[in-house]
Amino acid sequence: MPRITLPPKLPFKRVGIAGLGLIGGSLAKALIPFGGLELYVFDRDPKTVEAARKVRRFAAVTDQAETFIDWPLDLAYLCLPVRRNVELVNLMAKKGIDYPVTDAGSTKSPITAAASRAGLTFCGGHPISGREVSGYANSSADLIRGCLYILTPPEDGGPEVMDLTKKLKALHDLLGCRVRIMSAADHDRLYGLVSHLPFLTASALAGTALRLGGEDVLPWAGTGFKDTTRVGASAPAKWVEIAMENADNLVDDIGALMNLLGEIRRSLKTGDADELMNILGPISAFRQKLPKA
Amino acid sequence: MPRITLPPKLPFKRVGIAGLGLIGGSLAKALIPFGGLELYVFDRDPKTVEAARKVRRFAAVTDQAETFIDWPLDLAYLCLPVRRNVELVNLMAKKGIDYPVTDAGSTKSPITAAASRAGLTFCGGHPISGREVSGYANSSADLIRGCLYILTPPEDGGPEVMDLTKKLKALHDLLGCRVRIMSAADHDRLYGLVSHLPFLTASALAGTALRLGGEDVLPWAGTGFKDTTRVGASAPAKWVEIAMENADNLVDDIGALMNLLGEIRRSLKTGDADELMNILGPISAFRQKLPKA
């Protein structure tokens, strides 16, 4: 008789997803194939709510934050823009919820601090997975499956937080994510440098082309301009929130970038090719070490 | 009887290609399928010469610039790094050649000036087509076919230059390129902004990650860092030459980029989200207008 393979058991039964955008929608689509799971969905956008109501595997759908908060959840998974995640945490604290909370925002310190102030059982998360498009219509289970997933448990968390972190690791392991754990502060320094700064840099480069050349330059651009500015095409509202939440790190990062650009500019001004080579050589070698795919 | 389709007639018979790297090799591979063409190849690299000698469709192969120059060419097509193209032009002038010359370098003003000083019949060219790899081994006919191709005839050129420009346009039309014509000065301003500045910006961003985080940050990077820094992985020697040849434009471009980064940094320092949105909004809209593919 062939061996029976039972579906893996998820560590949560009733999961609430706040925000059915690119990340929340992708998470929902990745979770749906698991059996024995009830998904409770909140989104403020009428079109998204309409689309969500047609998904038979959602246990309930609402466009009201208060309704969402009152559901009998085992886990609330916040996938709203970072500022609205914090607002929802504050609302949850006021209502006195008893279930644990996680989020999928790109900055981790502000929401971790808000959850700590509110006394919630909280562990932040961040899927390293994004596209320059947004919204439920663009969401896909593949955006979550196999991605790097950072968990940032608060350093002063008690046994409930440890238990939540363990369960969140198990959940994302089942989703095929590569789960890593670090502090919220380390996360924000790291992703300031490798995610938020790249966005601002891509935008500043595209903005320079806009200021000095205008739209006439666009048909002439090759793959270099296209790739280097790609993330600059993203809807800026989300990124403005992220940048503001990580402003301290980004002020330092942009300062360092401006210093390096100043050095490159000086070598060009003085015609010092050796100096420019000394600057660019180690950078090229560094960039070539980036793991592929 | 079915209609006979004769192969299109190329406007040159004996074409010399100096430099069988990524661009020269791709050009050769794109030209080989055309009948009635003799390709004369020069490269200094022993391995490339060895590989080229095995290509039966090459009429002759040499590793000596003097030998190349003395061949009875209808066109010399210079595909060396930009500085060595200029050196070869100067050598051709000394030898007193009588055939016309074009090139495929990324900067157009210095070589156009050198050819003018030398009294050569010259029209510069630039295929908008590149990769972060280099060398004959990575070359491919597809890198030339269908690409945008800029021709930059000297503005003080006589009837020979007009004739050469017409023939070069016909040649690249046959290769499937979209040929456009502009002045060398306009080309260098434009491609400083949409090609050389993106390379320097991608490098400066990668360099900032190297300085502030070191190699430890690389495994954490997502697609944003990857795409925004991609061209920074290119071998820097080629780019140092290009940047030095276009230094005047790039000093201005980098200055404008640093100003814009300074504005972004100020909005973060003062916590002015509206100001950051005012900066990023129009840039995102601009970048979204970039033609796809």
Ordered by start, the domain boundaries in chain A are 14-182, 187-288
As a whole-number percent, the residues of chain B with pLDDT over 70 amount to 97
Query: Which residues, other chains included, contact A219 with Cβ-Cβ below 8 Å and sequence gap of 6+?
Result: B291
Predicted pLDDT at A34 = 85
B279 to chain A, any CB pair closer than 8 A? The answer is yes
Q: Give the one of A129, A250, A277 whose C-beta lies nearest to B268's C-beta.
A: A250
Q: What is the pLDDT of residues B269-278, one digit of tens each?
A: 999 999 999 9
Query: What is each CA distance from A77 to A97, A188, B72, B273, in whole angstroms?
Result: 14, 20, 74, 26
Q: What is the mean pLDDT of residues B102-116?
A: 96
Q: Does residue B132 surpass a pLDDT of 80?
A: no
Mean of the pLDDT values across residues B23-31? 95
CATH number for the region B187-288 comes to 1.10.3660.10
Structure-token pair, residue B161: 């230059």
Q: Which residues in chain B are closer than 8 Å to A198, comparing Cβ atoms?
A: 205, 224-225, 228-229
Distance between CA A21 and CA A131 in Å, rounded? 12
Q: CB-based contact (8 Å) between B90 and chain A?
A: no
The pLDDT value recorded for residue B7 is 61
What number is the ipTM of this complex?
A: 0.90
Looking only at the bridges linking them, the beta strands covering A38-42 and A14-18 are parallel
| Identity of the residue in A212, A254, A287 whose CB atom sits nearest the CB atom of B256 | A212
Q: Does residue A241 sit in helix, strand or coil?
A: helix
Measured from the Cβ of residue B127, the count of other Cβ atoms closer than 10 Å reads 22
* Residues in chain A, pLDDT under 50: none
pLDDT tier, B31 (very low <50, low <70, confident <90, very high otherwise):
very high
Judged by CB atoms closer than 8 Å, whether chains meet at A281 and B203 is answered as no
Residue A222 touches chain B, beta carbons under 8 Å: yes
Tokens at B154, concatenated: 């000297």
Contact B290 A254 (CB under 8 A): no
Q: Residue range B138-165: average pLDDT?
A: 94
Put simply, whether B218 touches A (Cβ < 8 Å) is yes
CB B26, CB B143: distance < 8 Å = yes
Backbone angles phi, psi at A40, to 5 degrees: -110, 125
Task: Work out the widest C-alpha separation in chain A, in whole angstroms.
Answer: 79
* Residues in chain A within 8 Å Cβ distance of B243: 268, 276
Strand ranges, E, within B50-177: 58-62, 75-78, 101-103, 124-128, 148-152
Nearest CA in chain B to A265: B251
CA torsion, ordered A125, A127, A131, A136, to nearest 10 deg: -70
Hey, of A108, A134, A284, which one would you mutate to test binding to chain B, going by the most B CBs within 10 A of its CB?
Answer: A284
Distance CA(A175)–CA(A72), nearest Å, equals: 23
Which residue from B58, B234, B229, B132 is spatially nearest to A260, judged by alpha carbons?
A: B229
Q: Is A285 on the interface with B (CB under 8 A)?
A: no
Q: What is the mean pLDDT of residues B240-253?
A: 97
* Whole-number average pLDDT of chain A: 94
Contact check, Cβ <8 Å, B240/A283: no
How is residue B48 written in tokens?
A: 């490339």
**CA of A234: which chain B residue's CA is closest?**
B284
Pairing of strands A148-152, A124-128: antiparallel
Whether the per-residue pLDDT at B23 is higher than 90: the answer is yes
For residue B60, pLDDT beyond 70 = yes
Q: For the domain with range A14-182, which CATH number is right: 3.10.450.50, 3.40.50.300, 3.40.50.720, 3.40.50.970? A: 3.40.50.720
CA distance A112 to A122: 7
**A292: contact with B, CB 8 A cutoff:** no
- Given a cut of 80, whether residue B267 has pLDDT beyond it is yes
Residue A143 forms contact with B (CB below 8 Å): no
Q: Give the pLDDT mean for B61-68.
A: 97
- Is residue B65 within 8 Å of residue B88, measured between CB atoms? yes
Ramachandran angles phi, psi of A180, nearest 5°: -130, 150
DSSP letter string over B8-62?
PPPS-SEEEEE--SHHHHHHHHHHTTSSS-EEEEE-S-HHHHHHHHT-TTEEEEE
| Residue B277 near residue A236, CB atoms below 8 Å | yes
**What is the predicted pLDDT for the residue at B2?**
65
Burial of B55 (0-12, 13-18, 19+ CB in 10 A): middle
The residue among A55, A1, A3 whose CA lies nearest residue A24 is A55
Interface check B162 vs A, CB under 8 A: no
Return the bridge partners of A41, or none.
A17, A61
- Per-residue model confidence (pLDDT) at position A7: 61
Strand residues in chain A grouped as ranges (E) = 14-18, 38-42, 58-62, 75-78, 101-103, 124-128, 148-152, 178-181
pLDDT of residue B6: 63
Residue in B197, B222, B288 nearest the CB of A205: B197
Question: Would you state the pLDDT for residue B10?
Answer: 85
| Interface residue B75 vs chain A (CB under 8 A) | no
Residues of chain A positioned with their CB less than 8 A from the CB of B256: 208, 211-212
Q: What is the mean pLDDT of residues B44-73?
A: 95
B224 to chain A, closest Cα gap in Å = 6
What six digits make up the tokens of B76?
Answer: 């010399």
